[in-house]
Amino acid sequence: MVELARRAAELAQQGADVIRLDQGAVDIAPPSAFVERVAEVLADPEINRYSPDPGLPGLRSALARYGSERFGVEWEPESEIVVTAGANQACFAALLAMVEPGEEVLLPSPWYFNHAMAVTALGAIPVPVPTRPEEAFAPAVGAVADAITPRTRVLVLINPNNPTGARYEDDLIRELAELAVENDLWILSDQTYHELHFGSVPPLSAAAVADAHDRTVGSFSKSLGLAGWRLGFLAGQAKLVTEVLKIQDCSVICAGRAGQEGLRAALSEAQEHVVRVRTVLHERRDRLMAALRAAHLNAFVEPGGSLFLFLRLPGVRDDRAFCRRLLEEQHVVAVPGGVFGPGGEGSIRLSYGSTPPDSLGEVAGRIATAMEEPSLED
Ligand SMILES: Cc1ncc(COP(=O)(O)O)c(C=O)c1O
């Protein structure tokens, strides 16, 4: 991925019309309340100090209200919420608190590679739970049950999903939560894309049905366009949050203070902003799907959320070589499906979060052309 991004920058510098569908980013500016509050607090010397490790009390209270409204869960701000430097840091700290080396973590696959890397870095074992496009990439309860062993400690769920764009049915979340409780597993609910769904209501959070077992991770990188500010949270019953706080203290200490101030101000008007982001993403998703279908690229599942579409490439054996050629010959950057673990091979991930609609219309034709001209590499 790094190599593709570097080459894309090189080609763009040479004047090529490069279309980037690799970055999981949204190109919509953050809410004005965030920007205004950050500008205001910069003059306050206090802003240069650490915040309390778990985050500013006012922000944690605002997050508790947000959790109640958007997740349907009542978290106690003092003991059950930690403001983190993004969802990735929250996931890493949660996994470190949950698993010992040699223990197993279930990851529906294709998976988010940073989760698999975090598990491996901790000396634990990422266990793929295969999902299938025919089942809209939802992890079947039977497949999860079959993957459980005496060493399994955690089931990770990303809903809506990166990289597949799947949005799981509420009933599935209930059944998976039940299974986790029966087997005394933690659920790590990564809800980075919780707000980015295309239905009328947000997806069910496992915390709403299995609070004692669930630890929810959230992010403001995509929904509020704050990726560079590194703002996320971890929430759940106090037992594990206390452990996470020790890890927080010896790693980042606290999330950046100015960003926390901005987020506290922005959360109150966040829903208005998020509805706008959702509308833009919905339009872009539809534009991309229509263009793909018009180019006879039909091997995908309609995304129910997030900002990704996972496209199968029938007949393409090597997705990495295909992505290299797609960039060199057609100037399109996509992520090879193989980087998302077992089940990802032979596909590419297209991110439509920061691509203008006209480019999304154009991209399908370029992918189709690349598929018509198989090179020796494939
Ligand atoms: C599933 C998932 N979790 C976590 C992250 C990281 O989010 P953050 O920027 O809040 O660390 C991403 C970013 O792409 C993601 O896709």
**What domains lie within the chain, and their CATH numbers?**
2-30+271-371 (3.90.1150.10), 33-268 (3.40.640.10)
Report the separation in Å between the CA atom of 25 and the middle of ligand 1, taken as the mean of its atom positions: 10
Please tell me if the CB atom of residue 223 comes closer than 6 angstroms to any atom of ligand 1: no
Q: What is the mean pLDDT of residues 218-235?
A: 97
Is residue 152 within 8 A of residue 183, CB to CB? The reply is yes
Q: What is the pLDDT of residues 72-124, one digit of tens each?
A: 999 999 999 999 999 999 999 999 999 999 999 999 999 999 999 999 999 99
Report the separation in Å between the CA atom of 191 and the middle of ligand 1, taken as the mean of its atom positions: 9
Percent of the residues in the chain that have a pLDDT greater than 90, as a whole number: 94
Residue with the two structure tokens 């690349």? 370
Alpha carbon distance 65, 268 (integer Å): 10
Q: Is residue 28 pLDDT above 90, yes or no?
A: yes
Dihedral sign (CA 166, 169, 172, 177): positive
Cis peptide leading into residue 163 (ω within 30°): yes
Q: What is the pLDDT of residues 189-215, one digit of tens each?
A: 999 999 999 988 999 999 999 888 899
pLDDT for 372 equals 87
Report the separation in Å between the CA atom of 89 and the middle of ligand 1, taken as the mean of its atom positions: 9
Alpha carbon distance 289, 287 (integer Å): 6
Residue with the two structure tokens 């973590």? 105
Specify the higher pLDDT residue, 377 or 348. 348
Please tell me if the CB atom of residue 227 comes closer than 6 angstroms to any atom of ligand 1: yes
SS3 of residue 69 by DSSP: helix
Please tell me if the CB atom of residue 202 comes closer than 6 angstroms to any atom of ligand 1: no
Q: What is the mean pLDDT of residues 283-305?
A: 97
For residue 107, which amino acid is it? Answer: L
Report the separation in Å between the CA atom of 161 and the middle of ligand 1, taken as the mean of its atom positions: 11
pLDDT for 376 equals 42
Please tell me if the CB atom of residue 131 comes closer than 6 angstroms to any atom of ligand 1: no
Axis-axis angle for helices 32-41, 257-267 (nearest 10): 140
* Cα dist from 68 to 91, 98, 165, 193, whole Å: 21, 25, 25, 17
Is residue 58 within 8 A of residue 72, CB to CB? The reply is no
Alpha carbon distance 227, 140 (integer Å): 32
pLDDT for 375 equals 52
Is residue 216 within 8 A of residue 236, CB to CB? The reply is yes
Phi first, then psi, for residue 373 (nearest 5°) are -115, 70
β-strand partners of 335: 349
Report the separation in Å between the CA atom of 263 and the middle of ligand 1, taken as the mean of its atom positions: 17
Specify the pTM. Answer: 0.96
pLDDT for 374 equals 57
pLDDT for 289 equals 98
Is residue 248 within 8 A of residue 82, CB to CB? The reply is yes
Nearest CA-CA partner of 7 in 376, 331, 344: 331
* Cα dist from 113 to 79, 167, 336, 358, whole Å: 30, 19, 12, 30
User: Given pLDDT bands bounded at 50, 70 and 90, which one contains residue 378?
Assistant: very low
Please tell me if the CB atom of residue 86 comes closer than 6 angstroms to any atom of ligand 1: yes
Neighbouring CB atoms inside 10 A of 100's CB total 11
Q: What is the largest CA-CA distance in the chain?
A: 62
Pocket probe for ligand 1: among 112, 192, 308, the residue whose CB has the most ligand atoms within 8 Å is 192
Nearest CA-CA partner of 338 in 365, 309, 318: 318
CA nearest ligand 1 atom 16, residue: 162
Residue with the two structure tokens 């990851």? 107
- Percent helix, percent strand, percent coil in the chain, to nearest 5: 45, 15, 40
Nearest CA-CA partner of 125 in 111, 107, 109, 142: 107
Of ligand 1's listed atoms, the one at least distance from the Cα of 161 is 1
Q: What is the mean pLDDT of residues 3-22?
A: 94
Neighbouring CB atoms inside 10 A of 182's CB total 10
End-to-end CA distance of the chain: 18
Please tell me if the CB atom of residue 112 comes closer than 6 angstroms to any atom of ligand 1: yes
Q: Is residue 290 pLDDT above 60, yes or no?
A: yes
Alpha carbon distance 155, 158 (integer Å): 10
